[in-house]
Amino acid sequence: MNILLATFHREWQLAWRNLADAVNPVAFFLMVIALVPLGTGTDKTLLAAIAPGILWVAALLASLLSVDMLFRRDYDDSTLEQYLLLPDCLYGIVWIKVLVHWLFSGLPLVLISPLLGMMLSLPPVAMPVLMLSLALGTISLSLIGAIGAALTVSLRRGGLLIAVIVLPLYIPVLIFGASATAQAAGGIFPAGQLAILGACALFALGLSPLVVMAGLKNALES
Amino acid sequence: MSAHLQLQDIGCEKGQQPLFSGLDYSLAKGELLHVAGENGSGKTTLLRILAGVNRDYSGNVLWNGENIRTHWPVYAQDILYIGHQPAIKAQLTARENLLWYAHCVGATATQASAALSDMGLRNKADIPCHQLSAGQQRRVVLARLIFSQQALWILDEPLTALDAKGFEPILQCLRNHLQRGGITVMTTHHGMEKINLPHRQLLLGDA
Distance CA A218, CA A212 (A): 10
pLDDT at B195 over 90: no
**Any idea which of A26-35, A51-60, B128-137, B193-202 has the lowest mean pLDDT?**
B193-202
Distance CA A217, CA A71 (A): 12
Confidence of residue A135 (pLDDT cuts 50, 70, 90): very high
Q: Which among B55, B73, B91 has CB closest to A87?
A: B73
Q: Which domain holds residue A28?
A: 2-220
Terminal C-alpha separation, chain A: 31
Cα dihedral across residues A192, A195, A199, A201: positive or negative = positive
Nearest CA of chain B to the CA of A133: how many Å?
A: 34
Nearest CA of chain B to the CA of A43: how many Å?
A: 47
Confidence of residue A7 (pLDDT cuts 50, 70, 90): very high
Mean pLDDT of B75-83: 94
C-alpha torsion A144→A146→A148→A153, nearest 10? 180
Q: Using an 8 Å CB-CB cutoff, list chain B residues near A221.
A: 53-56
Mean pLDDT of chain A: 94
Q: Using an 8 Å CB-CB cutoff, list chain A residues near B91.
A: 13-14, 17-18
Please list, in sequence order, all residues whose beta carbon lies within 8 angstroms of the beta carbon of residue A158, skipping any fewer than 6 positions away.
A68, A152
Mean pLDDT of A79-93: 94
pLDDT digits (tens, 9 = 90+) for B3-60: 899 999 999 988 888 889 999 999 999 999 999 988 888 999 999 999 999 999 999 9
* Packing angle of the helix pair A90-119, A127-152 (nearest 10 deg): 140
- Whose CA is closest to B188, among B15, B38, B36, B29? B36
Q: ∠ CA B20-B25-B29 to the nearest 5 degrees?
A: 140
Share above pLDDT 70 across residues of chain B, in percent, rounded to a whole number: 98
Query: Which element (helix H / strand E) includes B9?
Result: strand B4-14
Q: Using an 8 Å CB-CB cutoff, list chain B residues near A218.
A: none
- DSSP 8-state class, residue B4: E
* Contact between B54 and A3 using a beta-carbon 8 Å cutoff: no
* Contact between A17 and B81 using a beta-carbon 8 Å cutoff: no
Which residue of chain A is at minimal alpha-carbon distance from B100?
A6
pLDDT at residue B206 in the model: 60
pLDDT at residue A150 in the model: 95
Total of domains in chain A? 1
The string of DSSP codes covering A58-107 is HHHHHHHHHHTTTTHHHHHTTHHHHHHT-GGGHHHHHHHHHHHHHHHHHH
At residue B14, the 3 state secondary structure works out as strand
Domains, chain B, ordered by start: 4-203 (3.40.50.300)
pLDDT at residue B1 in the model: 65
pLDDT at residue B2 in the model: 78
Enter the ipTM: 0.91
Q: Using an 8 Å CB-CB cutoff, list chain B residues near A222.
A: 54, 56
* Contact between A82 and B79 using a beta-carbon 8 Å cutoff: no
Size of interface A-B (CB pairs under 8 A): 73
Which residue of chain A is at minimal alpha-carbon distance from B73?
A87
Tell which of B56, B75, B91, B95 to mutate to test the A interface (max A CBs under 10 Å).
B91
Mean pLDDT of B149-170: 90
Mean pLDDT of chain B: 91
Mean pLDDT of A133-140: 97
Q: Using an 8 Å CB-CB cutoff, list chain B residues near A75.
A: none
Distance CA A28, CA A24 (A): 6
pLDDT at residue B194 in the model: 80
Q: How many other β-carbons are positioned within 10 Å of the β-carbon of residue A42?
A: 9
